Chains A and B, each alone.
Chain A
């Protein structure tokens, strides 16, 4: 077992589970999320690869994950935490990892999670003039939306102009 993993286990309020010898998962609660990220950065996990969310509809929760990388020990660590689905909000991690600023803009737009402290969260990022619910949620039906807003072609030589239904 690598020495770095022993040191990660000593962080308070963090449960470590090991998948491979270079991929570990660290679970924590919402309140301790920022302090766990800060402790991980002090241990040498100073690169953020990706940060996003998973919609756990049956549990009524969102699962936020951060994939971190430690170059000296060559270990990836995934820090996970569950937040409530109804009033979903987290604090920004951009002071610890600057690339998180852009990923947080994306999860606000795609999942509807509010990010406190991020000045650009809430502004349109990838979608434009979007009025429906956030599209990556599991209760947004993409095929239903398509059938309501677009039409398909039914045969090869269909007349286009003048027919509007």
Chain B
């Protein structure tokens, strides 16, 4: 194995990366009620290599489970910026997509992808554990093809995201 091309290196690293994604154990909203069944023995997600982990410095996926309050949004942005590249964000439920049931609430944000880049959405209120596992498989597929590049988009469009965050957080 003398020299590897860029594509070969990327293919191998994507294949290894997708088999050991670590999820940050941060239950931000009511969608976190379906996480214990997914993590335990009935719909075991550990067989895919996904375990919940506590510190953001060593986690790969930020799971935004459900609606996002303004007070929580400030902490989510801090936690997202503390995670190391490459990192992925999954929006859970119908609240990060368009506000969901709380469309007229003054303290819930309506579109998550104006503040941090989102790779994947899961529909439902709340999504079943089988839907969560299907979403993880789909994310692994995207990593394989090299399309899960939210972290690169964040760095390229930093001004856009920072302007939106400042507008809502003050």
Contacts and interface: CB of A to CB of B under 8 A. Distances in A.
A135 interface: yes
If over half of B's interface residues share one DSSP class (helix, strand or loop), that class is named, otherwise mixed; here it is: helix
B153 interface: yes
A162 B169 CA distance: 20
A161 interface: yes
A127 B105 CA distance: 13
A151 to B, nearest CB: 6
B16 interface: no
Contacts of A129: 169-170
A1 interface: no
B70 to A, nearest CB: 7
Contact of B114 (A127, A145, A146, A151): A151
B114 A160 contact: yes
B166 to A, nearest CB: 12
B157 A161 contact: yes
A146 B102 CA distance: 11
B98 A150 contact: no
B105 A151 contact: no
Contact of B164 (A128, A142, A143, A164): A164
B111 interface: yes
A87 to B, nearest CB: 26
Given A128-B71, A153-B98, A162 B110 contact: no
Given A129-B170, A152-B98, A160-B113, A143 B104 contact: yes
- The range of chain B's interface size is 20 to 34
Interface residues of A, number: 18
B106 interface: yes
Nearest to A162: B160
Contacts of B168: 149-150
B70 A162 contact: no
B163 A164 contact: yes
B99 interface: yes
Interface of A: 127-129, 131, 135, 142-143, 145-146, 149-153, 160-162, 164
Given A152-B98, A153-B98, 8 more contacts: A127-B107, A128-B74, A129-B169, A131-B170, A135-B106, A160-B114, A161-B153, A164-B160
Interface of B: 70-71, 74, 97-99, 103-107, 109-111, 113-114, 153, 157, 160, 163-164, 167-170
10 interchain residue pairs of minimum CB distance = A161-B157, A150-B110, A153-B98, A145-B106, A128-B71, A129-B170, A160-B113, A143-B104, A142-B106, A152-B110
